[in-house]
A and B are shown apart, each in its own frame.
Chain A
Amino acid sequence: DAGVIQSPRHEVTEMGQEVTLRCKPISGHNSLFWYRQTMMRGLELLIYFNNNVPIDDSGMPEDRFSAKMPNASFSTLKIQPSEPRDSAVYFCASSLGQPSSYEQYFGPGTRLTVT
């Protein structure tokens, strides 16, 4: 299995631009998570989906962030408009079942820099 696939691996954009991060979970997994990691705040859960349905988006920082999961094999995290404080590494992870009970497999991350 290829594991969780994220694209792009690096993204540099200017403030105000729209950014779309992409994730392909491990085949057969039914839970998908988006995380953000910064030096200041560590690893934070933004949103998670179960069976393609958003279950908990309480970690999404503000309306500029949105996430979709149109099918079991694809998810996007969009930031519009982007701001310098959004600069971080964004991880996607997937698991086989209930988020707190099953091991989560993380992708390699997307390093976002907003100038």
Chain B
Amino acid sequence: KNQVEQSPQSLIILEGKNCTLQCNYTVSPFSNLRWYKQDTGRGPVSLTIMTFSENTKSNGRYTATLDADTKQSSLHITASQLSDSASYICVVSERRAGKSTFGDGTTLTVKP
């Protein structure tokens, strides 16, 4: 069964600090991996999409990495801001059926 596991489940950091969120998956055959940010009470918003051949992609202060061999991805947030407080969801899609498997998310809290 395809699985996507995210860690940590929750994280608290001080404003201005960096942090890294992890995503491990067993989805195969792999098509792409997406990171979403979901603010409380709102729908998820896409941060990055990476295919097999891409091992890093940035979106402002967000940088995602992908190791397709070990089936691991990370999302690094630089110089965190209060507005980064949200849930971050990793989604991995299969190549053939186009099905996507969602992680349970990491809840990030940035404190002043």
Contact = CB atoms under 8 A, between A and B. Distances in A.
A53 to B, nearest CB: 14
A56 B94 CA distance: 14
A103 B49 CA distance: 8
Interface stretch (B12-20, B61-69, B96-104): B96-104
A18 interface: no
Contact of A109 (B34, B43, B94): B43
A100 B46 contact: no
A100 B93 contact: yes
Contacts of A98: 98
* Size range of the chain A interface in the assembly: 10 to 19
A101 interface: yes
Contacts, number: 50
A93 B93 CA distance: 16
A49 interface: no
A73 interface: no
B99 A100 contact: yes
Given A42-B104, A42-B105, A43-B89, A99 B98 contact: yes
B32 A101 contact: yes
Contacts of B95: 100
Contacts of B89: 42-43
Interface string A1-26: 00010000000000000000000000
> Which 6 A-B residue pairings sit nearest by Cβ, starting from the closest?
A106-B43, A100-B93, A100-B98, A42-B104, A103-B46, A43-B102
Interface of A: 4, 42-45, 56, 91, 93, 98-101, 103-109
